[in-house]
Amino acid sequence: MSSLIAKNPIAHHNYTIENTLEVGIVLSGTEIKSIRQGKVNLKDCYAIVKDGEVYVLGMHISPYEQGNIFNKDPLRNRKLLLNKREINRLIGLTKQKGYSLVPISLYFKGSFVKMELGIGKGKKLYDKRQELAKKDAARTVERALKNKQYM
């Protein structure tokens, strides 16, 4: 049983996601309380491998209103929890093949907060345009079929 907290709206638009991983994330108590209220933004965040550990940067978790002195910096770097074999695989992919680590979504799995981390390559501008053209064509066909049914 998992419930979605937040989704990265531009992950699939800017990247071709080839593989995904479910990873844990290290958070403080006030951050968890703020996440439970849904005050998290994944729009401009990304993940990096640094010193044999994986961190997510740019993930904004709003400060908890009743947290006062216990609140952390909303944009601080947060450590992701992976095992050594997965980290070594990510190091190889990001260094050699030019892949990027993109946070796709944040969700609860039981009482734990998990992140879906995508491994993908960045799309070029013409790839994005082709994708938008395909979506527009499919939408036009759907509209035409829907209008034809009512005639």
Residue 98 has pLDDT above 70, yes or no: yes
Give the model's pLDDT for residue 55.
Answer: 92
Record the pTM: 0.76
Give the model's pLDDT for residue 130.
Answer: 85
Q: Which CATH superfamily is domain 2-123 in?
A: Small protein B (2.40.280.10)
Distance CA 11, CA 123 (A): 10
Give the model's pLDDT for residue 151.
Answer: 57
Count Cβ atoms below 10 Å from residue 35 Cβ, excluding itself: 20
Q: Yes or no: say if 120 and 20 are a contact pair by the CB < 8 Å rule.
A: no
Q: What is the DSSP string of 58-91?
A: S-EEPPPTT-GGGPPPTT--EEEE--HHHHHHHH
Taking only the tens place, the pLDDT of each residue in 11-38 is: 887 888 888 889 999 888 888 888 888 8
Q: Yes or no: say if 106 and 9 are a contact pair by the CB < 8 Å rule.
A: no
Distance CA 16, CA 93 (A): 14
Taking only the tens place, the pLDDT of each residue in 107-122 is: 988 888 899 988 888 8
Taking only the tens place, the pLDDT of each residue in 70-85 is: 677 777 888 899 889 9
Q: Yes or no: say if 46 and 101 are a contact pair by the CB < 8 Å rule.
A: yes
- What is the pairing mode between strands 2-7 and 100-109? antiparallel
Phi, psi of 131 (to 5 degrees): -65, -45
Q: Where are the domains of the chain?
A: 2-123
Give the model's pLDDT for residue 66.
Answer: 77
Helix (H) or strand (E) holding 144: helix 125-149
- Report percent pLDDT > 70 for the chain: 95
